[in-house]
């Protein structure tokens, strides 16, 4: 699990009942930080890598293009150094601006997810769309039932996420 604070906070070993899952989430991390610490993950030679990062990049003003370029470097390096590792890129989750005050727009998140999906198709990497599992009906907003802060998810949200990942963990 190679991600940001959403992973860092989650108790993935317990959620997935698997002691072999390594949580490499770092609160506040972005794609540049992930790229800089990728060597640590490569040394572990994981069978599978799940990546979700980018919300903090958006918050720092990076464009979708800049974030996608960093993702491309991350994925290229994993493919080169770990050719037998299965890579999963998970969509960035929605936010709820009623609860979380930010300049980040829902459109930026949607645009990034579209760009990541295209990148994954071009590199033959599995893309997992989690975004729509967490939105309110007919809105691009993180559902109140999955958050308290508007950015981070609660226990119910982690269970939804866990259930969405289970088919890829077999």
Can you point out the beta strands (E) in 63-145?
86-90, 126-128
Which domain, by its residues, includes 83? Answer: 2-94+103-130+154-165
Kindly give the residue spans of alpha helices, DSSP state H, lying in the chain: 5-9, 12-15, 31-36, 38-44, 55-59, 64-81, 106-123, 155-165
Write the pLDDT tens digit of every residue in 51-77: 888 988 998 899 999 999 999 999 999
Is 76 within the bounds of a domain? yes
Indicate whether 145 belongs to any domain: no
* Domain contains 75: yes
Mean pLDDT by 10 residues, the chain (170 residues): 55 64 63 86 90 89 95 96 96 90 88 98 97 91 90 88 88
Instruction: Specify the CATH number for the domain of residue 117.
Output: 3.40.50.1110
């Amino acid at each position: 699990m190679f991600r940001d604070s959403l992973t860092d906070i989650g108790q993935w070993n317990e959620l997935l009942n698997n002691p072999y899952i390594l949580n490499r989430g770092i609160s506040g991390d972005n794609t540049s930080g992930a790229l800089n610490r990728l060597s640590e993950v490569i040394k572990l030679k994981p069978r599978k890598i799940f990546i979700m990062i980018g919300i903090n990049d958006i918050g720092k003003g990076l464009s979708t293009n800049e974030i996608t370029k960093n993702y491309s470097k991350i994925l290229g390096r994993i493919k080169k150094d770990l050719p037998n590792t299965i890579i999963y890129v998970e969509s960035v989750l929605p936010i709820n601006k009623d609860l979380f005050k930010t300049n980040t727009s829902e459109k930026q998140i949607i645009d990034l997810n579209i760009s990541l999906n295209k990148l994954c198709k071009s590199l033959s990497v599995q893309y997992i769309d989690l975004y729509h599992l967490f939105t309110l009906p007919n809105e691009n907003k993180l559902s109140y039932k999955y958050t308290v802060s508007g950015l981070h998810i609660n226990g119910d949200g982690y269970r939804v996420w866990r259930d969405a990942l289970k088919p890829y963990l077999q």
